[in-house]
Amino acid sequence: MSRRSDALAPVVLALGLVAAGCSNDPGASDPLDLAEPPTEPMVSEPDQGPTQRTAPTDITGLDLDLGHWADDERSRTLERYLAAVGQTVRDKATSPLFLDSTSAQQMDDRRALAAQAKDLGATVADTTLAHLSGLEDRGTTTVAQVCLWAPSVAFVDERTGEPLRPTPRRWTPRSVTMTFVQQQWWVVDEARGRFACDEEAP
């Protein structure tokens, strides 16, 4: 998928990638506080991973530059996950893309993000802008280094489109952990990244 395709979502920035949720780990699921320094990504194993695979909807609302990793099967999982987060927050309904890309616990955390957006009367931009900076191979676990364009994943008022809080115009690093389970890659965690995002502003 090339750099200007379409969608994703987070109050302060979530990715996540993007991102809020209900986990007790603020680095993994709470909205990203842009004033805080990045923290170590958390690596976690899924309890089971989804057991039922369903034909997904088309990927929309996501403009993800995969760079050198465009043909890597892990990139496909990452793409589906990022698109699913945005779709779920925008539609306030679970995206089918989660079902074959994301562990059950992580999917629940992202759905909590959508519930938070609904409570706040918020949404995210129509298109999430992201680029993949690297894939750190750890055998059956991989950490994807993803840069998200902050304004494209920050919560905005659903009626006016105005940001709910000031959002810097910069790329924000996120570490997305994937684990190979049941012959397939699954996203099991997303956290602040400890790497530089040096791409030019869109």
Query: Phi/psi class of residue 108: alpha, beta or left (left: φ > 0; alpha: ψ in -120 to 50)?
Result: alpha
Top pLDDT among 45 and 165 is at 165
Contacting residues for 149 by C-beta, under 8 A, at least 6 apart: 128, 129, 130, 170, 171, 172, 201, 202
Question: Given this model, what pLDDT does residue 58 score?
Answer: 73
Position 72 confidence tier, pLDDT thresholds 50, 70, 90: very high
Q: How many CB atoms lie within 10 A of CB 4?
A: 11
Return mean pLDDT, the chain.
78
More confident residue, 27 or 141: 141
Give CA–CA dist 128/86, Å, rounded: 7
Instruction: Among 32-36, 74-78, 182-186, name the one with the lowest average pLDDT.
Output: 32-36
Residue that has been written with the tokens 């090339």 in this structure:
2
Say if residue 185's pLDDT is above 70: yes
- Rounded Cα distance between 71 and 18, Å, is 23
CB atoms within 10 A of CB 24: 8
